[in-house]
Amino acid sequence: MSLEESYKALGLKPGASLQEAKRSYYEWLKFFHPDRHQASPGLLQKATEETKKLNLAYEHICKVLGGGRRAFSNEPSRAKPPRPKATGKAPIEGEPYVVPACGMKLTWLASGRFLMGSPVGEAGRSDDEGPQTEVTISRGFWLGMFPVAQEEWSAIAEEVGVLKAQPSFFRGDRLPVEQVSWNDCQEWLEALTTTEAAQKRLPVGFTYRLPTEAEWEFACRAGATGRFHFGDSDGALSDHAWHAANSRNQSQPVGQKKANSWGLHDMHGQVWEWCLDRYGPLRGGSVFDPAGPAFGLNRVMRGGSWGVSAARCRCAYRVWNEPRYRDYTVGFRVALAPDF
């Protein structure tokens, strides 16, 4: 793409400044954002294609006018914060854990029971959030305190050698990794499991994997029964989440917002989080350790993102996409949990 074509893609006249290009880029980005077009596959495909063109155009203008400056950096400090000290030992059930291979913090969640989905009449409710289902999580598991950060992703991806060490659209060590597909996550998690097993740090019967949809909602609610883990009001969401009203149109460093009562951050907003399950209807009644339908193509994503409204960040809100889907609003969170 030439410089002239890049200006045209952003709706600018040749010679516009870098600041004008940035402003135009973000305006167009909001218009074509894929989250606005989930209900229409045709529009979603067009929005995705247009977003790619915008990315290429803005990247090219930044390289030419910015002297090679990266277009999508959040300009972090040169000094990296020290990684949490890792124990080098296997995790102990009931205790928090720091994964030695990448410095990721995990929180232990005890087994329990909760009501999955939302009641008829909940504000913002979608039909696929019911019937409400009583779910028993029969075994405790560890879950990432935050969505996977870019420095954690890179630590494992560089060892694998086939995954991109830096796939993200927005750049920063403590920003959540994004633009990773469900398939990418499987490859990364398999590599992490292999690394930890080789060092004899993997509990018997456990593996690093995506949480099931039920495990994810169980963790998000943290015992709560409302629209959000802190209650029902949209007004308090900005204290707990990065969403469309406060994100400045991009992801933010993990862990800056208030945690839920189990110590988990960014369960609402920030990035959509892949779940292990295929998408399907809730069963109703009472179930133990559900893991979704046995057949189907699309995989579940939960939590909302920096680009969506409060209603789409609710505990029970569900979306899905193909396992190869990548987007700068989509990341994941790690579970160290019983293998299926």
Q: How far is CA 27 from CA 20, 186, 261, in A?
A: 11, 34, 37
Q: Which residues of 211-228 are buried (b: 16+ CB within 10 A; e: fewer)?
A: bbbbbbbbbbbbebeebb
Q: How far is CA 215 from the centre of its chain?
A: 15
Question: Which tokens sit at 319?
Answer: 């979306």
Burial (CB count <10 Å: 0-12, 13-18, 19+), residue 291: middle
255-258 contact pairs (CB < 8 A, 24+)? 255/145, 255/146, 255/174, 258/230
Asked if 116 and 217 touch (Cβ cutoff 8 Å), the reply is yes
CB-CB contact of 306 with 244 (8 Å): yes
**Residue 151 is inside which H or E element, if any?**
helix 150-160
Half-sphere exposure of 6 toward its Cβ, with a 13 Å CA cutoff? 22
Q: If residue 300 lies in a helix (H) or strand (E), which one and from where to where?
A: strand 299-302
| β-bridge pairing 206-209 and 272-278 | unpaired
The single-letter DSSP state of residue 44 is H
What's the burial of 110, exposed, middle or buried (CB within 10 Å: 0-12/13-18/19+)? exposed
Is 210 within 8 Å of 274 (Cβ atoms)?
yes
Lookup result for tokens 């299926």: 340
Write down the pTM of the prediction.
0.77
Length of the chain: 340
Report in angstroms the alpha-carbon separations of 337 from 82, 206, 276, 299.
27, 5, 12, 19
Q: Which residues contact 28 (CB under 8 A, 6 or more apart)?
A: 10, 11, 50, 54
pLDDT of the residue at 223: 98
* Residue indicated by tokens 């990548």: 326
Domains of the chain: 3-65 (1.10.287.110), 97-338 (3.90.1580.10)
CB 192 within 8 A of CB 157: no
Say which residues have a Cβ less than 8 Å from residue 189's Cβ, sequence separation at least 6. 207, 208, 209, 210, 334
The DSSP code for 104 is: E
Per-residue pLDDT of the chain (340 residues; tens, 9 = 90+): 788 888 888 888 888 888 788 778 767 766 676 555 555 667 767 777 787 787 788 878 887 876 544 444 443 333 344 444 445 688 999 999 999 999 999 999 999 999 999 999 999 999 999 999 999 999 999 999 999 999 999 999 987 777 899 999 999 999 999 999 999 999 999 999 999 999 999 999 999 999 999 999 999 999 999 999 999 999 999 999 999 999 999 999 999 999 999 999 999 999 999 999 999 999 999 999 999 999 999 999 999 999 999 999 999 999 999 999 999 999 999 999 999 7
φ/ψ region of 263 (left if φ > 0, alpha if ψ in -120 to 50, else beta) reads left
